[in-house]
Structure formats: C-alpha cells, structure tokens
Amino acid sequence: MAIYNLGSINIDHFYRLPHLVRPGETLAADSYSQGLGGKGANQSVAIAKSENQVFHIGALNRADSNYFEQLKSYHIDLTHTQQLDYPSGHGIVMVDDVSGENQIVVYPGANHQISESMIDNALADANSGDWALTQNETTQARYFFQTAKSKGLKLCYSAAPFVAETTIELLPMIDMLVVNQIEAQELEAATGKPIAALGIEHTLITQGSAGVRYIGKQGELFIEAPKVSAVDTTGAGDTFLGLFLGRFDAGSSLEESIKYAVSGAALQVMQQGTADAIPEHSSILEMLQKSFS
C-alpha cells in the first residue's frame, strides 16, 4: 500500500542555548545551524526510511530547491509538492544544551498555500486501503480527509500543533490519532471525555523518553522507549509517527511497529537536527534488536 502525506515543509533554524530563554531575557546562542524540517517533511522522511512508499503533498519556495532535492534523495514522491514564489515555512528552534529540550516558533509560509486542486490531483490515483496522513501545519486538512475518505483511504491525524476546534472537527473521520501527552490532556479537556471514550479505532500517545501508550481496538498497551542520552528532542514525535505508520502499513503488527518506531526515535534524539537526524532502516533494526531482544 502507500501513504499520502499532506504535510508542512519548513527550513529549521537551530540555536543551541545554555538554557531555554526566560520571559524578558536576551540570551546569546552557543551555536547555530540550519536544516530541513516541518512536521510533514519529518514524517515523510521517516516513512521513507522505514522502507515504505510515501507521496508528499506540500509547497516551498522555489529558491529553496536544495531542500526539494534533499527530500527527493530520500525516495519521497514529490510529484505533488509545488515550488512557489512564496516564502517557505520556517521554524525557529531553540535547544537547551543540557537537557536537549526545545522551544519552537513556526512561520507557516508556503505551507498555507495548498489548494483543493493540488489535493484532487494527488489523490487521483490513490487506492482504497492506502493511508492519508496530515498535521495542523498546512491548510486544507478537512478537504484532504474528506476526499481521502470518499476514496476509501484510512486516515491518520497528527493533532499538532494542537488546535482544539480543528481537532474536534476532524475526529469523527479519522481511523488513527497520534498525540503527545500534553496534546492528549488538552483534547480531553476540550471534549470533556477521556480519549478512550472518543471512539477512535487507534490512538497513540507519545510520552517522550518514557515511551508510547496505545488505546484502541487492540486493547491497551504501553511500550517503554530505549534509554539514551538525548542531544536534541526536536522532531522525535514526527520520527516516531512516520516510522510507526510506515511499518504498520507494510504489515507489521501493532506492537512490532511501535517497538521499531521508538527504537528509531531514540536514535534520532541522539543527533542534532530534525529530518537530517532520522536514522536509516538498518540502524533502527540494530537498535530494535538491542533494546527488545
């Protein structure tokens, strides 16, 4: 099968700091770097690294063609990713040198220039049983899911950055929800219901270095994450989601897919960067064997 990802593409600007900036504080960065990011791009890279097929639907500025070529180098299908005369989305990523924790500010840019016709063209050849994936960093999420559902695709939603109104609107359509622990709490507060009572077929709640909780038609499950020393946690959740969905769609069991994905995310946080830090399939298999044998 295949995965169609309506996803953001950002240029991430990384500033490593002695500590995260406090209100009113001006702080000199220890270092600066730039790289490919955006929740959508990260997830597409992770799907491709899991050795599954992914079609990315998105947009970036044509002057940033080097990032377009980088995505292509991962064997992501970019037929429906447009290069526009509009600023690319970008993220300001501030990373605590001690803990690896981060603060992120995102400018949407070209990610908000997605059209309905782009989605129609991208899904024209999609088949029943394929997956449609999106996040909250682009426009047209509702139209994308409605169109995908009408064609029999399964729908996976990464409800981040969390927007209660948008999430509640999309919930009745989705087959799989992926949120972190804070987003899960915000969703429960917004709906007045525990996640287990929302009627979602599959829900995955990432809990950082602790691991991942699953709630759904296969019961409840918790998988601990491998213990590693984190350098940068930016993109860890995206890495997990892409790796998980890639393996799950390819036929691995739910538990096997989670273990594979947490192994890959553990490797990713040991490196600086987002998409650039997502590990290769062979490295993930080694970590999987080491952590869960």
Distances (CA, A) of 16 to 27, 32, 37, 275, 277: 11, 7, 16, 17, 16
**Mean pLDDT, rounded, for 13-28:** 95
- Predicted confidence at residue 232, as pLDDT, reads 86
Strand positions, DSSP E, the chain: 3-6, 10-17, 31-37, 54-61, 81-84, 89-96, 102-107, 131-134, 154-158, 176-180, 202-206, 211-216, 219-224
Q: pLDDT averaged over the chain?
A: 96
Domain boundaries, the chain: 3-21+30-292
Tell me what percent of the residues of the chain surpass a pLDDT of 70: 100
- Predicted confidence at residue 108, as pLDDT, reads 96
pLDDT at 102 over 90: no
**Mean pLDDT, rounded, for 30-43:** 95
pLDDT at 98 over 90: no
pLDDT at 100 over 90: no
- Predicted confidence at residue 192, as pLDDT, reads 97
- Predicted confidence at residue 107, as pLDDT, reads 95
CA proximity to 235, closest of 8, 4, 59: 8
CATH 2.30.110.10 fits 3-21+30-292, yes or no: no
Which tens digit of pLDDT belongs to each residue from 204-242? 999 999 999 999 999 999 999 999 999 888 899 999 999
- Predicted confidence at residue 163, as pLDDT, reads 94
pTM exceeds 0.75, yes or no: yes
pLDDT at 272 over 90: no
Banded model confidence at residue 291, pLDDT cuts 50, 70, 90: very high
Which tens digit of pLDDT belongs to each residue from 164-190? 999 999 999 999 999 999 999 999 999
Which tens digit of pLDDT belongs to each residue from 186-199? 999 999 999 999 99
Bond prior to 23 in cis (omega within 30° of 0)? no
**Mean pLDDT, rounded, for 86-97:** 93
Quote the CA–CA distance of 208 and 52 in Å, as a whole number.
25
